[in-house]
Amino acid sequence: MQLTEMSRYSSALRRAPTPLYRGDWPALLLACTVLLNLVDAIATLVAVHFGSAVEANPLMAHLVQQTPILFMMAKLSLVSFGVVLLWRLRERRLARFATVVAMAAYAAVLLIHIQGWRDLAA
């Protein structure tokens, strides 16, 4: 290979898209946050319906008992609003930190749900 061919080849490699570009991590974490929020909402409704759990948030506890559809709409809307806000501010360090915290919080909530499911199965 000649030098010019090698430089063309190496520049093409540098421009090649990667499966997850390093700047795309906020989008991935925010998408996971929305997905985990949905799983949390469904798991909460099921657990409350069967009496194996209570909603920890006092404001949402009333909704989950009285109007499950309104509970789902409120929960999904509020978290989605927060995700959109974090996405719009993603260039700011505090927003990137909050993105990681939100994802970690929902991952922890999912682990709590899984533990509850394991306890019910035992």
* Residue 9 confidence (pLDDT): 53
* pLDDT at res. 11: 55
- Residue 70 domain flag: yes
For residues 65 and 45, is the Cβ–Cβ distance under 8 A?
A: no
With respect to residue 14, please indicate whether it lies within any of the assigned structural domains.
Answer: no
Number of separate helices (H) and strands (E) present in the chain: 5, 0
> Does residue 109 fall inside a structural domain?
yes
Q: How many domains does the chain have?
A: 1
The count of residues in the chain is 122
pLDDT score of 17: 53
pLDDT at residue number 51: 87
Phi/psi at 57 (5° precision): -80, 115
Q: How high is the pLDDT of residue 37?
A: 96
46 belongs to a structural domain: yes
Splitting the chain (122 residues) into consecutive groups of 10 residues, what average pLDDT does each group show? 55 52 83 96 92 89 92 96 96 96 96 89 78
pLDDT at 52: 86
Whether 12 maps to a domain, the answer reads: no
| DSSP H/E element including 109 | helix 93-121
Domain that holds residue 98: 21-121
